């Protein structure tokens, strides 16, 4: 197969590219490094079957010679500090970016997969969240640039499927962690690991009783690959099912990395979901899929990566906006 993958320099994109290269497929990676990392491309360059285009999918995709079997649209800032720094760009990669990727798939007669997110559920009122839950999202809050962009991307994908007959897939990715994340991702896994590695107090938001369910990245990649092998157009949740409070999670990271550290409580971020956990009944039934990597194992591998990364040069900084300081959200 030959696949085009937007967001190939992102955390998940880089693992997905490696997965398909391992399987002997060709991957055309696309990234503009708004939040992707040069180091993730460098790991892939030189591998047989990999080619890379530095391009902003929101502005359009350059002509890709040869056939394409799949277009996988993973490009987007995904962590709150990144998408709130680039709210307009985040909205654009959900709308114009998704549409350029859909049009490319249509032109090539390729299938299309959208990386959507558990953020379409917002701060859910139903637990766990099945795909049929419509979500609870503030349409104009600080997080709306990401949440609404992804809801729009789902609606657009389904419109191309229904009205134009495109063969599409939609995954909703829940909290995922592992090597190749940005050290400054800004979400809890890297925050805790970096704090622990640096010997700093672990900062827990609010009272720490809000929960998350984590999946290790290799579990996610396995689920994506399986969904590409079946014909199913509605969204599919892929995520870890074991809810853990943020306080307990801090204790696990601390125990793994540095048992002597204190835990410090800080204010809860605006619109932060109190609880989110996937109902993975569809993925179990349709794909025979469930997460397999334990939190302890996954965190050990991730901490090892960051320990090593701390010895290497720092990651690419989040790229400044295209010459317009006003692109950035107020602090």
Contacting positions for a second copy (CB under 8 A): 87-88, 91-92, 94-96, 99, 120, 122, 134-140, 142, 144-145, 147-149, 151-152, 154-160, 162-165, 170, 234-235, 324, 326-330
Cβ proximity of 154 and 112 under 8 Å? no
User: Any alpha helices (H) in the chain, and if so which ranges?
Assistant: 11-22, 38-44, 80-85, 87-94, 96-108, 144-164, 188-198, 217-228, 246-257, 281-287, 295-311
CB 87, min distance to a second copy, A: 4
CB 240, min distance to a second copy, A: 22
Q: How many angstroms separate the CA atoms of 167 and 188, rounded?
A: 35
Beta carbon nearer to a second copy, 145 or 309 = 145
Beta carbon nearer to a second copy, 64 or 166 = 166
Beta carbon nearer to a second copy, 15 or 151 = 151
Cβ proximity of 50 and 21 under 8 Å? yes
Beta carbon nearer to a second copy, 231 or 313 = 231
Beta carbon nearer to a second copy, 21 or 283 = 283
Question: Distance of CA 10 to CAs 125, 305, 309, Å?
Answer: 30, 16, 16
Q: Which two tokens stand for residue 196?
A: 């622990």
Q: Which of 58, 65, 70, 81 is nearest to 20 (CA)?
A: 70
234: exposed, middle or buried (C-beta count within 10 Å: 0-12, 13-18, 19+)? middle
CB 140, min distance to a second copy, A: 4
CB 92, min distance to a second copy, A: 7
Active-site residue, from 33, 83, 133, 146: 146
Residues pairing with 237 in the sheet: 172
Cβ proximity of 246 and 205 under 8 Å? yes
CB 290, min distance to a second copy, A: 24
146 included as an active-site residue: yes
Which residues are part of the catalytic machinery? 146
């Amino acid at each position: 197969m030959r696949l085009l993958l937007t967001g190939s320099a992102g955390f998940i994109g880089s693992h997905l590219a490696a997965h398909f290269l391992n399987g002997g497929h060709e991957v055309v990676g696309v990234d503009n490094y708004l939040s992707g990392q040069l180091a993730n491309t460098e790991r892939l360059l030189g591998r047989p079957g990999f080619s890379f285009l530095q391009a902003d999918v929101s502005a359009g995709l350059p002509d890709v010679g040869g056939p394409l079997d799949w277009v996988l649209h993973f490009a987007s800032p995904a962590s709150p500090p990144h998408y709130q720094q680039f709210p307009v760009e985040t909205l654009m990669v959900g709308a114009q970016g998704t549409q350029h990727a859909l049009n490319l798939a249509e032109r090539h007669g390729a299938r299309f997969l959208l990386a959507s997110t558990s953020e379409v559920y917002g701060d859910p009122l139903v637990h766990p969240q099945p795909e049929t839950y419509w979500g609870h999202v503030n349409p104009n809050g600080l997080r709306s640039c990401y949440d609404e962009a992804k809801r729009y991307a789902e609606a657009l994908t389904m419109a191309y499927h229904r009205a134009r007959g495109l063969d599409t897939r939609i995954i909703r990715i829940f909290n995922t962690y592992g090597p190749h994340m940005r050290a400054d991702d800004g979400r809890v896994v890297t925050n805790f690991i970096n704090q622990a590695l640096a010997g700093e107090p672990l900062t827990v938001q609010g009272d720490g009783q809000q929960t998350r369910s984590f999946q290790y990245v290799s579990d996610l990649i396995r689920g994506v690959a399986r969904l590409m092998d079946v014909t199913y157009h509605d969204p599919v949740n892929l995520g870890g099912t074991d809810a853990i409070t943020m306080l307990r999670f801090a204790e696990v990271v601390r125990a793994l990395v540095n048992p002597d550290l204190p835990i410090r409580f800080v204010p809860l971020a605006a619109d932060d979901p109190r609880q989110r956990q996937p109902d993975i009944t569809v993925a179990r039934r349709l794909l025979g899929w469930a997460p397999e990597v334990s939190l302890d194992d996954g965190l050990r591998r991730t901490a090892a990566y960051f320990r090593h990364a701390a010895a290497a040069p720092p990651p690419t900084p989040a790229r400044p906006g295209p010459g317009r300081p006003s692109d950035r959200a107020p602090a």
